[in-house]
Amino acid sequence: MTQLPPITFATRFRGFLPVVVDVETGGFNSQTDALLEIAAVLIEMRSDGTLTRGVTHRYHVTPFLGSNLEPASLAITGIDPHHPLRPAIPEEDALQRIFREVRAAVRAAECTRAVLVGHNAFFDLNFLNAAVARSQIKRNPFHPFSSFDTATLGGVAFGQTVLMRATLAAGLEWDTSSAHSAAYDAERTADLFCQVCNQFQGVFEASRRRLAAMGPLEIEPGSEPQSGEPPNP
């Protein structure tokens, strides 16, 4: 029987480290609407390969110069961007603080890059990438287009795509009064992601054994690694 390597983040997710990100914004347009809050939740791995939520990093963000603030979006989030007691910091500062923590986690996990986990992840990734471009940050630890979407995972595992419904269907707690905070939504998204991954742990183990029994696999024509991905083993 082929000896399988221990389960690590690198072997579980092909060299990627999943990091949950949630943003609260002044609208839906990542190019014109303000980034107001950002939270990143690190994921930890237990000795048996199962996942659990780790530390949360969360910042209030000052709207960038000339950014749009849609009243309807502010009504949903309850954010007052100009409140004198709001501890907001510039967009670039918030990103750099989070990126330092993510880069350290990527190194510690011996991964090559972080991959964003989000609920409707394209929204968070678009706002993250737009903020990176505005701030002219060169060292972004996140993959520029790959992501894990818990709306999809929740639909597959529990038949629910709305974060609140998927969370409750997974047997987790939900506090409506805390929703639409970047930190709270990111933590619930992290719990949901871990729950789904742990639920499918047996499927992952079976697939590892199946692939190991096949021996080394050649890369098929046209299936070279995407930009930013580690090469196939």
- Give phi and psi for 204, each to the nearest 5: -65, -45
CA dihedral 168, 45, 117, 160 (to 10 degrees): -20
125, two tokens: 């990734």
**Angle separating helix axes 121-135 and 91-108, nearest 10 degrees:** 110
Residues that are catalytic? 180
Distance CA 37, CA 191 (A): 20
63, two tokens: 């709207």
Contacting residues for 199 by C-beta, under 8 A, at least 6 apart: 157
82, two tokens: 């100009």
List beta partners, residue 116.
Answer: 19, 147
